[in-house]
Chains A and B, each alone.
Chain A
Amino acid sequence: MNVAVLSGKGGTGKTLISVNLAAVAESAIYMDCDVEEPNGHLYFKPNNITEKDVAVKIPEVDHTLCNGCRQCVDFCKFNALAYINDKLIVFDEICHSCGGCSLLCPEKALSEKDKVVGKIQNGISGNVEVHTGILKIGEPSGVPIIKKMLEDRKLREKDPTQASKLTMIDCPPGTACTVMESIQGADYCLLVAEPTVFGLHNLDLVYQLVTLFDKPFGVVLNKCLGDDHPVEMFCKERNIPILARLPFDAELGMLNAKADIAVRKSEKFRVLFSKLLDRVTNEVQHEATSHS
């Protein structure tokens, strides 16, 4: 059961909700796909950490074989290659690793080499396996790292006991390529929003995204003050279920600011997130039966 948590902007509570839902489950996987600034590990403080690099393929030129035909330059849709002063130049950061140029080169002057763009850190925190994607500073796209994390997850799903395991996918903020990649394998999407006018705008962005991807979804409102709000109207008009309304609560804020996991520190919040997890599980099962 893969649940992606997303929001139109940063700071709405994606990590708070992903971390606490994973921690309140009997056993779970927490995947931090916010690879530009992963912070879930600050809460889990995982042990037994293993690391592996994630690399992409980029072209390498053998200048002794290149005859300057420029087929590769004309082929590249991203203009990652230029031919200047009788020499082919590769722009690594522009390359999207499609491999087309090295397939095309009639002189076999182009081959592919690995370029490390980041790493995945795996560790354990009690009942939770913590997977953290980390993009190397200066790299333009986190997509290859997220792709690798989800591939690893998919391989394990061949085992039915692993497939049913709760996996919380903590997405990057917004609606960019990295978010689209993160929700690909999700059975359900949780949209986190603040009940403000700005929050409504951001909710609408992710609402459009998950609709486009035809994903079942529900909304969690965070930092609620209890009064009626346009966000509630927005959900009501579109029949979007609001699965929980987390209060604007000083105690929750304090625990979170200390990088404590609320459900591991307080019975009150254990009950709150446990209810939310039940609700999400029901929604996922309902989706599974109504689509089979």
Chain B
Amino acid sequence: MKLAIPMDEKRFDSNVAESFGRAPYILIYDQETSESLFFDNLAATSRGGAGIKAAQMVIDKGANALLAPRLGQNAADVLKAANINVYKTIGGSAKDNVEAFVAGKLNLLDDIHAGYHNHNPGGR
């Protein structure tokens, strides 16, 4: 099974990124080989729809599950269409979370936020 995790740094023992779509890197961890591959998240700097593009990348890299602290509606829709389950991370490093996942200690992420698309500086 392959796990995808949004990351701020390219180190397995560094913390999971706060955001999914705008995380600088996506880690693909292969449970069979214990191999960690870090990919630049091309969605991180996109003008909009970052969650959609990051989710597309997770699918294209062949991940079977995503571990993330939170997720927007659009990303959730893409992952759902691809039957990829999302698990809520518990804080700490990617390593901590992979271990927790293997031990069956991570719960499915079900509180999906509506996204942060209301850009209206100075408005109501």
A binding-site residues for B, Cβ under 8 Å: 8-10, 73, 76-80, 82-85, 87, 89, 91, 93-94, 96, 140, 172-176, 202, 205-206
Contact = CB atoms under 8 A, between A and B. Distances in A.
B106 interface: no
A181 to B, nearest CB: 13
Given A82-B56, A91-B52, A94-B74, A77 B120 contact: no
B48 A79 contact: yes
Given A79-B50, A80-B52, A83-B56, A8 B78 contact: no
Contacts of B77: 89, 91
Given A85-B81, A174-B122, A176-B119, A77 B46 contact: yes
A9 B43 contact: no
23 contacts: A9-B122, A10-B124, A78-B46, A78-B47, A78-B48, A79-B49, A79-B50, A79-B53, A79-B56, A82-B78, A84-B78, A85-B82, A85-B83, A89-B77, A89-B78, A91-B49, A94-B74, A174-B122, A175-B122, A176-B119, A176-B120, A176-B122, A176-B123
Given A79-B50, A82-B52, A174-B124, 8 more contacts: A8-B122, A77-B48, A78-B48, A79-B52, A79-B53, A82-B55, A82-B56, A91-B49
Contacts, number: 77
B59 interface: yes
Nearest to B43: A79
Interface centre among B50, B52, B56, B122 (most CB of A within 10 A): B122
Contacts of B74: 91, 94
Contacts of A140: 117-118
B104 interface: no
Given A79-B53, A84-B59, A175 B124 contact: no
Interface in B67-115: 74, 77-78, 81-83
